[in-house]
Each structure stands twice: as C-alpha cells, then as structure tokens.
Amino acid sequence: MKILVVEDSRSSLAILTKYVEHFGATAIPADNGEMAIELFSRNRPDLVLLDIVLPDIDGFVVAQRIRAMEKPGDWAPIIFLSSLGDDADIEKGIAAGADDYLHKPVSEIVLGAKIRAMQRIVLMRASLIAVTRKLDAANQELIRIASSDGLTGVANRRYFDEALSIEWRRARRHSNSISLLMCDVDYFKLYNDTYGHQAGDECLRKIAAALSRHTERPSDTVARYGGEEFAVILPETSIGGALMVAEKIRHAIQELNITHASSPTRQVALSIGIAAAAPGFDNPPDDLILAADKALYRAKKEGRDRVCRADAT
C-alpha cells in the first residue's frame, strides 16, 4: 500500500512517515502542495494524508486538484490533518474531496485504525466495481442474445422492428430517405426436403453471413425476418442505392455456389424486393414493409433469382 504524506513541518512529516512505515505501507513524503500533486500524479497512491495548512497552496486546493486528476472509477481516500477543528473547516474539507479528518497531533494508534478502515472501504469498493462490471457484461450479453437470431447470428425480428422504428423517426427528423430489402431464399422448402434440415440451417447461416458482409455501414441492419426470409434496413439510402446493394447481395449468394439440385438454377439463389420512402407523419414504417413485400412477391412471380423495385410497373 502506498500512502502520500503531505505535511509542511519537517518534524511532523518525519513522524507521520514513521507511523506509515510501522503500519507496513510505503510512505511518499511531500512538504508542499505542488509537490504533493506531482507525486500523486506520478505514483497514484492508495491513500493521501493531507495537511490543510501548507506553504504554497492549501490542502483544500490540493484535494480538489487530486480529485480532478482521477479518472472515472478511480478513488484514493484523502484524510485531512489539521489543528483547525471547527465544523466549517471539516465541511469545507469534505466539500473539497476529503473523506475523513484527523486532529493534530496525530496518534499512531488512531492513524493506524483510520488507515485500516479506509483499506476496508477501498477493498469493498473494488469488489463492488468488479461485481458491477460483471453485471454490466452479463446484461450486455443478455441484450445481445435477446436481439440476435439464434441460428444465423444476425438481428432477430424483434430487433428489426425496433431498428426500423428508430431509423424511420431519424429519417423523418432529418428529411432523409430510408430503404428496405426483403430477401427470400428461392425454393428453400425443396432444399430442406432434398438435403435435410441440418443442411438447410447451414445454408441459412451462409446466406446471413453474406448479407452481413455486403452491408458494411454500421447503420445498416441485417435481420432474419422469419423462416428463410431476411430483411435489410438501409438508412439514408435512395431506391437507386438500394438497388445497387440488392444486386451486389444477389450476386454474392450466387458466388456461394451452394448446390440445389431441386431448383431450376441448380444452386441456391435469392429473390429480393426493395422499397424506399421519405418518412412523414402520415406514412408509418409498415407501409415500407408492405411495399418491399409486394416487390419481393413480384420478383418470385417473375422467375425468382432477381431484384424488383416497389416503384416499378
């Protein structure tokens, strides 16, 4: 344990240093405020014993500057030492960042008891921080699990609904366009019937990974919409931009070259319907989903393995 001892009287500093060393800690002596701040910055002690009356800046200022140097989550207890003992001084010290107060001259027994008490507080605080961090990590993992599709690892339907609502409101605030891709694996039931559900699951995982690779912006969202259907939210994207992304995705699925003997194309392919909108107060996001769904239906009706736009006639 490192303890910064700040005392302007050389004799008092020597006595306090001896007390600290008797306690089994390492003493870091300083006889003025500026030196104390420099030593605190350099050594990051576990505890500070701080005289209020110093030759340059007083202990109140030193305490404030020490607290200003600490990063979030850091804390070194500060115990003020002073022959001043009225309530106003104690209140001022606590307000400056101190945690306790000892009257001078300091008893070695009392100082040892104070140090042990502060040690217990530091250990309890460290344990609490560790538990809090574990809880935060566990909560983040629960959020990730709750928002992810268990099979493919992309966002699930619940997350898709929330993300679309958020992006819709953001687009409305900034008068931006938002696009949506609805993607369906062609003849997927036949694929499952031919190769089995385990192969079907692996196929969906590969398609989800390809979709994720080809939607590179952090704001884009790939979600499993249901069964063999995927959805891609493209914020700040026009219908033309969505068309480029959709064709890139369709070709990426072709390049996976997943054999599908029961399909006319002899390999797994994707049909994609795209729609774009400039959100207003009278057109809900459901309208965008409906438009993209209709475009997807037309893509499948016209022969599959293609992209259809909602605004095409």
Q: How far apart are CA 308 and CA 310, in angstroms?
A: 7
Inter-residue contact 32 to 4 (CB < 8 Å): no
Q: How far apart are CA 78 and CA 50, in angstroms?
A: 7
Is 228 assigned a catalytic role? yes
Encoding tokens for residue 299?
Answer: 């893509």
**Pick from 226, 232, 222, 217: which is nearest to 180 by CA?**
232
Catalytic residue among 38, 141, 228, 229: 228
CA distances from 291 to 155, 178, 179, 224 (A): 21, 13, 11, 18
Give the DSSP letter string of 191-223. HHHHH-HHHHHHHHHHHHHHHHHT--STT-EEE
**Pick from 34, 64, 63: which is nearest to 49 by CA?**
63
Q: Residue 90: exposed, middle, or buried by beta-carbon count in 10 A (0-12, 13-18, 19+)?
A: middle
Q: How far apart are CA 290 and CA 275, in angstroms?
A: 9
Residues with catalytic function: 228
